[in-house]
């Protein structure tokens, strides 16, 4: 009886979150997956000291230090509303049997950073393999698909590793600068 009640409760909560339009991030393998948008999504609200403007400027500085062509990466910089949006890319590789690495393509993704007093939110989603047409990497999650290739697991792991490193860099850059008191 407890099992049936537990299952019913879980179903009810799942339905309520969809009805209310709330995004629920679950783990799909190693990947965070948004059940509402059906996209691999890295998303978090981070509490951080600073005004919305200070956090916005830190985010802009981080983008400039992280991306080679920061002006091209961001397509929206709205300082008044603390919003930064853009599309960025990174390379993935595959390894030959002899150990040599070869280019497997570029992964593009959406980047959104929103800043408010005392907190900011990042959202990274819309991951696509850049090719002749858009190829959402969520297709790599389906191991039952006839076009599934075991190398997809490695590519997904590479995406996850890259994103976790990127997010760690963002969190570090968003911290208040260290003020050194040189008065003696």
Q: Is residue 58 part of a domain?
A: yes
Calculated CA dihedral for residues 66, 69, 75, 78, nearest 10 degrees? 60
pLDDT tops 60 at residue 4? no
Question: DSSP letters along 21-74, please?
Answer: T---EEEETTEEEETTTTEE-EEEEEE-SS-HHHHHHHHHHHHHHH-TTHHHHE
Residue 112: which domain range? Answer: 23-173
pLDDT tops 60 at residue 13? no
Q: Is residue 101 part of a domain?
A: yes
Q: Choose between 5 and 55: higher pLDDT.
A: 55
What percent of the chain shows pLDDT beyond 90?
A: 58
Phi, psi of 14 (to 5 degrees): -65, -45
pLDDT tops 70 at residue 38? yes
pLDDT tops 60 at residue 11? no
- Average pLDDT over the chain reads 85
Domain with residue 42: its CATH number is 3.30.530.80
Q: Is residue 13 part of a domain?
A: no
Q: Is residue 78 part of a domain?
A: yes
Output the furthest CA–CA distance in the chain (Å, rounded).
71
Q: What is the pLDDT of residues 116-169, one digit of tens each?
A: 999 999 999 999 998 777 789 999 998 888 888 888 999 999 999 999 999 999
Of the pLDDT bands very low, low, confident and very high (cuts 50, 70, 90), residue 17 is very low
Q: Is residue 168 part of a domain?
A: yes
Q: Is residue 12 part of a domain?
A: no
The secondary structure of residue 141, as a DSSP letter, is G
- In whole angstroms, give the CA distance from residue 27 to residue 46: 20
Domain total in the chain = 1
Q: Is residue 96 part of a domain?
A: yes
The secondary structure of residue 175, as a DSSP letter, is S
- In whole angstroms, give the CA distance from residue 69 to residue 130: 18
Q: Is residue 91 part of a domain?
A: yes
């Amino acid at each position: 009886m407890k099992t049936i009640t537990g299952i019913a409760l879980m179903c009810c909560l799942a339905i309520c979150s969809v009805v209310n339009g709330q995004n629920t991030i679950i783990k799909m393998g190693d990947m965070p997956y948004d059940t509402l948008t059906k996209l691999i999504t890295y998303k978090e609200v981070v509490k951080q000291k600073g005004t919305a403007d200070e956090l916005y400027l830190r985010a802009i500085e981080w983008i400039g230090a992280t991306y080679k062509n920061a002006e091209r990466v961001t397509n929206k910089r709205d300082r008044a509303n603390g919003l930064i949006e853009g599309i960025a890319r990174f390379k993935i590789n595959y390894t030959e049997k002899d150990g040599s690495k070869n280019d497997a393509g570029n992964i593009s993704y959406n980047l959104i950073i929103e800043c408010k007093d005392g907190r900011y939110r990042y959202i990274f989603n819309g991951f696509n393999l850049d090719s002749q047409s858009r190829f959402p990497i969520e297709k790599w999650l389906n191991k039952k698909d006839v076009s599934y290739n075991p190398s997809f697991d490695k590519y997904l792991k590479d995406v996850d590793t890259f994103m976790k490193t990127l997010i760690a860099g963002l969190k570090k850059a968003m911290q208040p600068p260290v003020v050194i008191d040189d008065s003696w």
